Structure 1
Amino acid sequence: MSGQQDTYQQLLPQLFRLEYTKMTAVLCRHFGLKHLAVAEDIASEAFLQATHTWAHKGIPENPTAWLYTVAKNKARDYLKHEQIFEQKVSPQLQANNQVSYPDFDFTEKQIADSQLAMIFAVCDPVNPPAAQIALALQILCGFSITTISHAFLSPAETIKKRLQRARSQLREQNFQVSNLTPEVLATRLPAVHTTLYLLFNEGYFSSGANQVIRQDLCGEALRLALILTTNERTDTPATKALIALFCYQSSRLEARLNDSGEQILFEQQDTSRWNQELIVKGHQYFIDACTGNELSRYHLEAGIAYWHTTVDNPDKWKHILSLYNELIIISYSPVTALNRTFAFAKVYGNKAGIEEALKLRLDNNSYYHSLLGYLYSDAIETAIYHYQKALALTNSEPEKHTIQKEINRLQGL
């Protein structure tokens, strides 16, 4: 029994991450965003029932189908007991000439359509862009308030209030998830792109204390981005560039960690562990992204990622620096500035790189001090000083371990 219990306790969190937001999206397609909390409660109750049932009766043959069946039954029970269908949903459906009882269909197509509609509904211009993205990260991607606060570099309490205001606005607007016009798709697509970009970045550079990479989040971002290609109005050059970026970056995930889960720096990675299938897929989407005149930040970042997947090209870092020079103009961020400085040092040498880095004055940034530690490799005491500063500024245990290894190496330990 203990082994069975361990199995379901490991399986449920994985299923929750994969299926909870899908379940909520389909339910909201029927209830509307005004009843978002109801949809979330029903989805949560399905997983709660699984916790109790699977502990005593074991894991069903098809756990995912079991969860969706329970959610469907709970949704129907809710409509029956609370009389929402007769009092609220039915008049609205009649107004739209849809009078049939809602069929909570959890097929793959229905889930994909609902998630596509859901993310565009959540990215409502009634809310500020930052609130749209935070809300989409929470509702569609299942992010906690803490994780979202890391993504925005904002206090958790600030994010909590932002989400409360945004949810209130959505309820008042009562936008119907099933009703997406071409105008809505066009105006909200940039916020959707940003949401998926942040989701992928959270996986690629996890803010969690115990994980430096969360491949599950990277995979989820890529999956959701691919859903955008199913609609001709969202299958844009920027969408394809974003997918290319995800493919290139994902191709190197396995090489970024050793067998002990320790981070491996780019220059030390075993290139034979790069996923060539994903690189080829990235090439395909990048070529398609460059067929028009559009140049987005995702085109530039995909170009940078492309050059990172190339091997033994003498002009590699010159191309990367050139792309960073363009990117920093249209989309500045401290991370972009630091990455550009690294590329600058690869082209012009560490001394010139140090001069560029010191101009940034990012004294409270752990990556800033890690970069200076790397660039001061010929001045051991100064390098150790900056690595120690980086060590004190990061909350990531894997990152601390990597930095400490560099300090030990410099100290000859």
Structure 2
Amino acid sequence: MVNPNEITPHLFRTEYSKIVAVLCRSFDIKHIEIAEDIASETFLKASEYWALNGLPDNPAAWLYTVAKNKAKDYFKHLSVIEKNKQQEVKTSDHEYQMIDFDTKSITDSQLEMIFAACNPINSQETQICLALQILCGFSVEEIANAFLSKHETIKKRLQRGREALRAHHFKINSLSEQDIHKRLETVLTTLYLLFNEGYFSRTHHFLIRKDLCLEAIRLTLILTDNPFTNTPEANALLALMCFQSSRLEARTNDEGEAILFDEQDETLWDKALIEKGNYYLIEACQSNNSSVSKYHLEAGIAYWHTSSAEDKWQHILDLYNQLVIIEYSPVIGLNRTFAFSKVYGKEKAVIEAEKINLINSEYYHGLMGYLYSELNTDKAIYHYEEAIRLTKSKPEKQAIQKQIDLLRQSK
């Protein structure tokens, strides 16, 4: 028999945001707190009822029915207490009947919520926080952990972000195709950063947050399933996520310690996800009118990482050379230097890395430790120790310490 206590948290992660999205679409995002209260009460009832009576045959459908009934009860209650006043939420019986949890309604509602949460009126960090809470059902504590921030800091950021969303009365069906495409860049950026937070988490205890990666993929799939948002860039981003996710199981061991790329067990790579990545990358390159975006280039780089071709590092380096022109960042520069070392050797790569000279970055010192590992053991150990000092990630510290121990043993 399935334990309700085991399945309820999973359902909360997958269904909570769907319920909130459908309800918000019915009576405006400015009343999002009401929608969230109804969703929370639905799960509270589920946990109590299922504990006594066991799981229903279709738990998700059960949740949708309860949520719809609770919405109906809310409006009845509101009409009684505000009979002679202007109602806060104006939803007629007809509009209540329009609340539906079929597949199309859920998908359309979530698409609207993606564009609402990724509103450029808020800062990029606020958009990600809102996406984690509204679209993925994350608690304030979980978001604070993801950002290595204080609980109060995240709480205030979310409050300000929500106030901005309520003030703008966002409705995706009021936007033209041109307006949607203007916002799409912000949406893609937010989903990209959401995935990156899962792929290389900044929390103290986890290198990888698979739940974040899966949520980012799920939300990006919604974009590619809609004709207005099924753009080459969206497909390229989804391809990138698939390629990167294919290697998640090989990036850490059973103790959660990081495994360097060169030491990964390729048999653990998910071939099905690689095939999905190939499919979406081909879709991203179908249009003759689209320019090459950073997502195309990063997806190409991720593709070659899953390849066993002898010249794959030359291809990766070529793509990085294009990427630094489109959108340079220190991290991209460091990644390019790693690829450079694979093509031209570590000695020449040291010269490239020194040009970047990010002495306050753990990633810089980690790369320098790797490059010096066969050139100068003492320098390699120095840079690895600096990387340990600078990083806050426990798995990273453990992985780097292993490299130091190996170098000391070889002296």
Instruction: State the TM-score bracket (shorter-chain normalisation).
Output: 0.7 to 0.9
Counterparts in 2 of 1:245-394, with a 5 A limit? 245-291=240-286, 292=288, 293-314=290-311, 316-378=312-374, 379-394=376-391
Gaps of at least 5 residues in structure 1 are none
Matched, 1:44 2:5: no
Cα gap change, 1:138 to 1:364, in 2 (>3 Å): farther
Cα deviation, residue 34, structure 1? 0.8
- Determine helix, strand or coil for the equivalent of 2:87: helix
Q: Which amino acid aligns with 1:175?
A: F
Counterparts in 2 of 1:14-413, with a 5 A limit? 14-83=10-79, 87-90=87-90, 99-128=94-123, 130-144=125-139, 159-176=154-171, 179-291=174-286, 292=288, 293-314=290-311, 316-378=312-374, 379-412=376-409
Partner Cα distance (1:308, 1:385) in 2: 29
User: 8 Å contact 1:138–1:144 — kept in the other structure?
Assistant: yes
Cα deviation, residue 233, structure 1? 1.7
Report the RMSD for the aligned CA atoms in angstroms: 2.9
Q: Which amino acid aligns with 2:308?
A: V
User: 8 Å contact 1:205–1:213 — kept in the other structure?
Assistant: yes
Cα deviation, residue 129, structure 1? 5.0
Among all aligned residue pairs of Structure 1 and Structure 2, give the percentage whose two residues are the same amino acid.
57
Deviates more, 1:218-227 or 1:101-110: 101-110
- Determine helix, strand or coil for the equivalent of 1:411: helix
Runs of 4+, deviation exceeding 6 Å: 149-156
TM-score (norm 1): 0.87
Partner Cα distance (1:270, 1:28) in 2: 45
- Determine helix, strand or coil for the equivalent of 2:262: helix
Cα deviation, residue 390, structure 1? 2.0
- Determine helix, strand or coil for the equivalent of 1:193: helix
User: 8 Å contact 2:346–2:372 — kept in the other structure?
Assistant: yes
Partner Cα distance (1:153, 1:181) in 2: 38
User: 8 Å contact 1:248–1:279 — kept in the other structure?
Assistant: yes
User: 8 Å contact 2:384–2:400 — kept in the other structure?
Assistant: yes
User: 8 Å contact 1:30–1:102 — kept in the other structure?
Assistant: no
Cα deviation, residue 341, structure 1? 1.6
Q: Which amino acid aligns with 2:42?
A: A
Deviates more, 1:295-304 or 1:341-350: 341-350
Deviates more, 1:53-62 or 1:394-403: 53-62
Deviates more, 1:274-283 or 1:29-38: 274-283
Partner Cα distance (2:144, 2:369) in 1: 28
- Determine helix, strand or coil for the equivalent of 2:96: coil
User: 8 Å contact 2:334–2:353 — kept in the other structure?
Assistant: yes
Partner Cα distance (1:55, 1:397) in 2: 37
Deviates more, 1:101-110 or 1:188-197: 101-110
Partner Cα distance (1:329, 1:151) in 2: 30
Partner Cα distance (1:355, 1:318) in 2: 18
Cα deviation, residue 30, structure 1? 1.1
User: 8 Å contact 1:151–1:198 — kept in the other structure?
Assistant: no
Partner Cα distance (2:326, 2:138) in 1: 28
Q: Which amino acid aligns with 1:13?
A: P
User: 8 Å contact 1:372–1:386 — kept in the other structure?
Assistant: yes
Cα deviation, residue 143, structure 1? 4.2
Partner Cα distance (1:344, 1:151) in 2: 31
Q: Which amino acid aligns with 1:224?
A: L
Cα deviation, residue 127, structure 1? 3.6
User: 8 Å contact 1:26–1:106 — kept in the other structure?
Assistant: yes
CA displacement, residues 13-66 of structure 1 (integer Å, 9 cap, x when unaligned): 222222221121111111211101111122222223334444444444433333
Partner Cα distance (1:398, 1:10) in 2: 27
Partner Cα distance (1:209, 1:153) in 2: 8
Cα deviation, residue 152, structure 1? 7.0
CA displacement, residues 88-118 of structure 1 (integer Å, 9 cap, x when unaligned): 4447x7xxxx944344322222211110111
CA displacement, residues 179-237 of structure 1 (integer Å, 9 cap, x when unaligned): 44323311110111111111211221122333222223222212211111222221111
User: 8 Å contact 1:149–1:159 — kept in the other structure?
Assistant: yes
Cα gap change, 1:331 to 1:161, in 2 (>3 Å): farther
Cα deviation, residue 158, structure 1? 5.5
Gaps of at least 5 residues in structure 2 are none
